[in-house]
A and B are shown apart, each in its own frame.
Chain A
Amino acid sequence: MLPHGDDEEKWLAEGIAGIQHNAFYMHRALDSNDLKDALRYSVQMLSELRTSLLSPHKYYELYMRAFDELRKMEMFFREETARGTISVIELYELVQHAGNILPRLYLLCTVGSVYIKSKEAPAKDVLKDLVEMCRGIQHPVRGLFLRSYLCQISRDKLPDIGSEYEGDADTVSHAIEFVIQNFTEMNKLWVRMQHQGPTREKDKREKERSQLRDLVGKNLHVLSQIEGVDLDIYKETVLPRVLEQVVNCKDELAQHYLMDCIIQVFPDEYHLQTLETLLGAFPQLQPTVDIKTVLSQLMDRLSIYAASSIEVLPEFLQVEAFSKLSNAIGKVIEAQVDMPVVGAITLYVSLLTFTLRVHPDRLDYVDQVLGACVKKLSGRAKLEDSRATKQIVALLSAPLEKYNDIVTALKLPNYPRVMDHLDNGTNKVMAVVIIQSIMKNTTCISTADKVEALFELIKGLIRDVDETQDDEIDEEDFKEEQNSVARLIHMLHNDDPEEMLKIICTVRKHIILGGPKRLPFTVPPLVFSALKLVRHLQGQDGDVIGEEISATPKKIFQILHQTIEALLSVPSPELALRLYLQCAEAANDCDLEPVAYEFFTQAFILYEEEVADSKAQVTAIHLIIGTLQRMNVFGVENRDTLTHKATGYSAKLLKKPDQCRAVYACSHLFWVDEQDGIKDGERVLLCLKRALRIANAAQQMANVTRGSSGPVVLFIEILNKYLYFFEKGNPQVTSSVLQGLIELIKTEMQTDGSSDPSADAFFASTLRYIQFQKQKGGAMGEKYDPIKI
């Protein structure tokens, strides 16, 4: 039974007390230069380290106490030998008389350190002796700490090149030999540790073992610090020897830690040059080793190394780092059949990061990585593991972030294939990420092919991939997604009309599949995109004649017609009506009377058949009147038909005030204040009179229903319209007509008991305006002169 909790604390305290007690006498002996007593008490002190009761963690505490005391001993030994009281060789012999092996070896190492320093024997011989002698301890914990002590005292005394202990020609290899041997022995002890004790405590033991790993790893650190280890020696000796040990120990914990350690302690440059050897070791590791983390670590380091300086990039090319890494990953994935998908994808993410850093110009490499990933994923349906999904998103986002340009990603044939493996939800998220990337970088997608590829990529947003899960979709999310698609449509642009037309057709083809839910979002941006093209063509129609050209306004209007028609299935009549009117006006600007007439007809049909809400009707009729007022393409007949319709519908609105306002707005259909504009004073007056009649009717209605005199404000509005046409020179509108109207309003306002302050203010400001015009002088002043207010 291994000790637990309080017991362990007790044993540790006893051990520490033992060390302190003996150290006290040892110090006394040192002070009085009594070598014999000093050795005796130090042996007794070190005997405390023979305990098997402590866990590695506690043992470490004990060890550190002893370590501090040993430094004092070392100092004493150095002084003694320097004073000549005893020669270092004699001392080396003397300490070996200690009765117990553990204290003996600690003392031997301590004297060994002094011995090397004295240079009375070559460092390599002393070190070799020590490392061999240490074999005497085979208990894992005790052995590990003893060798760790050896490592500690020897690290500054290696016969390294340039060190004061440098020996003959082979000096570096002796240094390496020593460290590797110590490393090998320590690793063996470390690995063996797991087999000691009952199996049921294996987990706990592995945890303890893991706490000791840095003792073993320190050797590798020392190795990496040896000056003499240049690339050749590393390649020929160090790496193969270390790897041999790592592979042969067949221990999961050790292999994972040591591989990681190798990658961390040695320079990136060495890794790059020994990539083949290093990667060759991976498939030989135990199948349970978490290779992907280690390998990812390696690739991340190499990526950072590559990014550190542009000068190192040729090295990467020279050693074909990409293909080596790619192969290694392939082999690892092949060998570890049980590796979860997320592991494999993590590896590909690292490889992709590496590729993007080292070979940003090699899109084929990027695609190759994606392809490998597709291969791994093939045969599976959608991914359900959320971690794997996350990794795929990372995989797909990496090229977007690197190139800041979706156009590059569109060139990768495997990109959409990887995306296909995402579940619908994540697929949409990815599609939104793609769109955001485009928006952020204001990337312009300029060919129909690319647009096609892009829509293929984001098809999860464009249409229902499967119909089953409609209920789950959050209304807000859906709106946001579709709005981002709408924004995207503005980024699909080419200045060349032919290509632009192709783009429009491609977009149309895709969005039409979106169904009634999506069309209200996607149709308007497409319509306006097309209208922009129309305007563009309109500006340069002079020089296209004679060429075989398909991008003509006429052709685009046909497409527009069909596109807006799709909105009828939604149904979304109000939006469609607005878009028809926009098209009508654009056709007007292109001088295409039949087209404009057709669009107007469609708008009227929608108004008649689909716009039922009375408030929507008011807005719609104003838009119709406003647009029609601006049209100049129509011949007399068409114009008459349309104005007649507009006036007719105006008078048929539900509420009298709405009727009145729409009818007086219609007056502008017969009076366009431009050089060649229509100026039909009589019909203007007809409209205004009709408006007056409606205002009267409205008032009477109010009288009947509410007993009040109703909206006098309508009369003031009409008065203002009269003023407008009076100023514009409509001969039918005379000052006497105005005078009559003013008097009428005055009477109305007086009889109206409950005065409406806003109507009063309106009338006051209207009168003020008339006054202002009267005072203005000139022709206008003269015109206004007869009016009395």
Chain B
Amino acid sequence: MGRAIGFRRRERDRRRVSAPSVLPPSISKDFGATLVCGIRWRLGFGGLLSLARLAVLLCSGVLIEISSDSAVAPIGSFRLLLPFQMVLVLAIGDLHIPHRAPDLPAKFKSMLVPGKIQHILCTGNLCIKEVHDYLKSLCPDLHIARGEYDEDARYPENKTLTIGQFKLGLCHGHQIIPWGDLDSLAMLQRQLDVDILVTGHTHQFKAYKHEAGVVINPGSATGAYSSITYDVNPSFVLMDIDGLRVVVYVYELIDGEVKVDKIDFKKTANTQSAH
């Protein structure tokens, strides 16, 4: 059922939607998804890609139901339509517990459930073992770069790993001066020779695409005080890596409400790094 509706709609939506908009680019009015945290998303089936996006939501466990004006489809039936190999990567960091914040926001905690995420990239500054253990409980494949407040000396200054067809780099970022400077981060990206560079330190969410790839800063998951950024909102990033595409979902807690934003990147042949 979903497939039929989806494809018919695509033809119409394509003509209508031109500018890239928030969440997914092709929007149909009557399709919605309800998330665990109570947010309702409008979804459209702009072909397989949108279905893939939906699958991300399904796999991330934040979705309760999918509904249209005419029917409410059980999530199970959608799962049958989605044969994709989904890889979800959580990027999170600068928690500064308990130096600058008592704990992760409860809303984030309820969204982050064990077993849905395949890899965690943590930009550091956890700062205590309890937080490490918590992240480990979400997903055993945990990669951490050392922040300047981390006492655990086993965390490396930076780290690279390959997920699917992407090479990812991880670094806290206090070593890269000027802090948060994209040109300087791009240099680190060239040095590590990665497609996606994940850094922190500024406590400000950023996802920036440049000629050599993507630079992502998941911000501070606790919205911790920062001398660099004023009015920090708690945020983290979920990356869906699927073939040559990566869809970046940003979860930001603004005035007690979780706002979700989405950015889409595609790795093309000419930006592919020489392995």
Contacts and interface: CB of A to CB of B under 8 A. Distances in A.
Given A490-B102, A525-B99, A623 B212 contact: no
Nearest to B181: A673
Contacts of A528: 96, 99-100, 224-225
A535 interface: yes
Given A586-B227, A673-B178, A764-B274, A717 B191 contact: yes
B247 to A, nearest CB: 24
B69 interface: no
A585 B98 CA distance: 21
Contacts of A619: 148, 174-175
A586 B273 CA distance: 41
A764 B191 CA distance: 10
A745 B230 CA distance: 42
A72 interface: no
Interface of A: 439, 479-480, 483-484, 486-491, 521, 524-525, 528, 531-532, 535, 578, 582, 585-586, 589, 619, 622-623, 625-627, 629-630, 665, 668, 672-673, 713, 716-717, 720-721, 723-724, 727, 758, 761-762, 764-766, 768-769, 772
Nearest to B146: A619
B30 to A, nearest CB: 38
Interface of B is mostly: loop
A531 B175 CA distance: 23
B228 interface: yes
B193 A769 contact: no
B128 interface: yes
A758 B225 contact: no
A87 to B, nearest CB: 78
A629 B225 contact: no
A471 to B, nearest CB: 23
B190 A720 contact: yes
A440 B211 CA distance: 47
B161 to A, nearest CB: 14
Contacts of B193: 758, 761-762, 765
Interface string B74-109: 000000000000000000000011111111000000
Contacts of B181: 673
A625 B178 CA distance: 9
B211 A578 contact: no
B244 to A, nearest CB: 18
9 contacts: A439-B102, A480-B130, A525-B100, A528-B99, A626-B177, A724-B187, A761-B193, A761-B273, A772-B211
A784 to B, nearest CB: 13
A769 B212 contact: yes
Most B-side CB within 10 Å, residue of A532, A589, A762? A762
B184 interface: yes
B149 interface: yes
Contact of B177 (A439, A480, A629, A762): A629
Contact of B190 (A479, A484, A489, A769): A769
Given A578-B149, A720-B187, A724-B184, A630 B228 contact: yes
B255 interface: no
B179 interface: yes
Contacts of B228: 630
A486 B187 contact: no
A532 B190 CA distance: 37
B183 A490 contact: no
Contacts of A758: 193
Given A483-B98, A486-B98, A622-B174, 8 more contacts: A524-B99, A528-B99, A532-B225, A713-B191, A724-B187, A761-B193, A765-B193, A768-B212
Contacts of B97: 487
A592 to B, nearest CB: 14
B160 to A, nearest CB: 9
A623 B211 contact: no
Given A762-B190, A769-B211, A486 B99 contact: yes
Interface string B155-178: 000000000000000000011011
B174 A626 contact: yes
B61 to A, nearest CB: 24
Contacts of A589: 227
A218 B224 CA distance: 67
Nearest to B190: A765
A88 to B, nearest CB: 74
Nearest to B130: A483
Contacts of A488: 102
A582 B102 contact: no
Nearest to B275: A761
Given A625-B177, A665-B177, A490 B230 contact: no
B98 A765 contact: no
A762 B212 CA distance: 12
Given A623-B174, A724-B183, A490 B98 contact: yes
Interface string B224-245: 1101101000000000000000
A585 B229 CA distance: 12
Given A483-B128, A626-B178, A585 B227 contact: yes
A769 B148 CA distance: 30
A623 B148 contact: yes
Given A524-B99, A528-B99, A622 B177 contact: yes
Contacts of A535: 225, 230
Nearest to A671: B178
A638 to B, nearest CB: 19
A429 to B, nearest CB: 18
For the complex of A and B, the 10 pairs showing the least CB-CB separation, nearest first, are A486-B98, A585-B227, A487-B102, A524-B99, A761-B193, A765-B190, A720-B187, A487-B98, A490-B102, A665-B177
Contacts of B129: 479
Most B-side CB within 10 Å, residue of A713, A724, A765? A765
B191 A762 contact: yes
B174 A727 contact: no
Nearest to A574: B148
A439 B103 contact: yes
B4 to A, nearest CB: 44
A356 to B, nearest CB: 26
A586 B226 CA distance: 10
Contact of A765 (B148, B174, B225, B273): B273
A766 B99 contact: no
Contacts of B149: 578
Contacts of B148: 578, 619, 623
Contacts of A713: 191
A32 B183 CA distance: 116
B166 to A, nearest CB: 15
A460 B211 CA distance: 58
A491 B273 contact: no
Contacts of A716: 191
A532 B225 CA distance: 7
Contacts of A483: 98, 128, 130
A766 B177 CA distance: 19
B261 to A, nearest CB: 26
Nearest to A713: B191
B13 to A, nearest CB: 34
A528 B273 CA distance: 42
A627 B178 CA distance: 9
B134 to A, nearest CB: 13
A61 to B, nearest CB: 57
Contacts of B175: 619, 622
A590 B149 CA distance: 24
A479 B101 CA distance: 17
B98 A525 contact: yes
B146 to A, nearest CB: 9
A626 B129 CA distance: 27
Contacts of B187: 717, 720-721, 723-724
Interface string B173-215: 0110111010110110011010000000000000000011000
Nearest to B191: A762
A81 to B, nearest CB: 72
A487 B273 CA distance: 44
